[in-house]
Amino acid sequence: MAKAALSLSSFSLYLLLLSFISGGTLRLVNGQKTWCVAKPSSDEATLKENINYACSQVDCRVMQKGCPCFSPDNLMNHASIAMNLYYQSRGRNRWNCYFKSSALIVTTDPSYGNCNYE
């Protein structure tokens, strides 16, 4: 569990640096696979709102207790999974990863362990 938490923290730092370096805008190469994740700077209320909205639109069972994406059990992880499920189901358009400016589109697959961010 500590390894997963460390890995998520490193990933969050990478996202923060990527956002800073690119001025908050990630430029995508045409046809490249992308994922939507929560911004590390998002507050708890926003993350909860994002989870509630996304999961009202898509099936979020993959992040329930005992499922592959439950752990680590924290808001940042669960919001990223829910937001990405929504983003992927809506065709990976940048406007489907807006979430009131609390999301980032990334080109590095955030999947970990048995949790696949398809």
Mean pLDDT by 10 residues, the chain (118 residues): 43 42 44 92 98 98 96 97 97 94 96 93
Coil, helix or strand for 103? strand
Query: What tokens does 87 get?
Result: 């983003």
Q: What is the pLDDT of residue 40?
A: 96
Domain range annotation of the chain: 2-106
> The tokens 């999947």 sit on which residue?
111
**For the whole model, what pTM was predicted?**
0.74
Domain 2-106: assigned CATH number: 1.20.58
Does residue 15 contact residue 40 with C-beta atoms inside 8 Å? Answer: yes
Residue 27's identity, in one-letter code, is R
State whether the Cα torsion 91-92-98-99 is positive or negative: positive
Query: What tokens does 115 get?
Result: 């949790």
